[in-house]
Structure 1
């Protein structure tokens, strides 16, 4: 067992604390990872606010990259010294999704069996089964995806959640292709990643929509060809005007609100696709859209889970594109901070001042 510093949320809406926790040695199928960098994601804030569940205390952090220090019995294809990006989709290979050839939907993903604990022995609930706002963390070996060791940990660690969710919403869920028109509603970290993914796929127009001009500038830097400030103009009409009056082939909703979902629905072309990747709160309901419009407009209404990614397939590919200069993951890193700065980073994220703060360890 090892004692390490980590960021803990002890109770709902209380400021996080940096504490010494106990990390067990890896057991069968597990890996001990020395964390090098971990992004500050909205999901971590949701955990702290009690918006995920009430299994306090939480060990926060999940968008991480680091180096494997030790592995447990039965682990194959992973060894100490390997540089990895952590993921929360360690596929089981045996559930009904895996058996029908869709492991990116795996319904029985793996996590470490042993708990990490506070100094008094209280078990911690690791965010998304990872808990990487810590000097070291214990995960299932399947949560470790080996990538190019020369890549920047601060940049590629973001593939662990938000950036992968956005890129995957475009590439995997939305199936954006060459020459398509794409609109992205909401241009925070996930939405800006969807913009980058759409450009990577060869979309001819990528229309970024937000109510914050700062976020629209970030989206332009990541490949948006047009921007629309939804606080100043009708976003649906603007998207139609930019697409010859038809609407976008794919509209990616990265906010997770009924009103922006309704915009996405009506901003798409006939037989177009809506992708919901923004995460709603439990009190939100599907917007009041006439069923005849759902039928008459055709196409697809999809939800994107983690960008429908398969980490073993997608992470190495995207890291290679990053290393080739074709995917600017560095642009998502707004600032580099220490473990003690996570609470302040939550405030900056909530205000929309950053794409991602990244903890460097």
Structure 2
């Protein structure tokens, strides 16, 4: 028998309950048919009084097998219903949480001027970072606090891939993330350069990174910024690379693969808004410079000498006659 200490250890590990559940779930259904066969065989070999008892054993085992089958079917149906209810609840929660984000993206795309688009884009930043800094800390331990941060390239990343902190939302009291993430080695420790380089590589790549422990990834090791786990997602579209979206926590292993999918969706919304503004700027610049370009082409054409030569210029010069030559 288990003493009190051993019993508490079994309760914490869950091994003893698993053995019990495993026997009733897998062992008993396998044993009952064997018992039924044995009872049937013994009943056939014995006299009438003894045969009755063995026959009764057959009936009991068959009834037990039937009960277990019915119980399993009901348990499966109950589990299926629970899964359906959980999925419906999750869908409802997601719709309520993501609706403001989708509306913010639509506000950017529906804006008619660059000023309105940039204003709507700032609103998208606020909604996205607000969502990223709160949704993962809800229904969790009180001391788990999350933070969301957006980094953007200020220039074409092929020319300058420094990441600049655009905005951050979330837990207060923790050290702020760096204003600039750069590969520059000037007056910096090698470990800091390696960490920043790994972070920039994530922003330039295509894969989201789930960091369960800050010490376990190149982009977060030996950080002094108050986070122990996080999710890093590049903000980009097919044609543009904009930067990096980071959600972090002050506890290790605070995020799951499902959480990573949610952060990817947030980063996609940010990428859609940024791409819309960038495309609008490119089109506006092209439209604004077209008249000047046309005028330059016309001016150049006016200064090109005509290719046509007049008939007088092509008329051959007459040679002087001998009669006009004085001796």
TM-score by length of 2: 0.28
Structure number having the greater helix percentage = 2
Structure number having the greater strand percentage = 1
TM-score by length of 1: 0.26
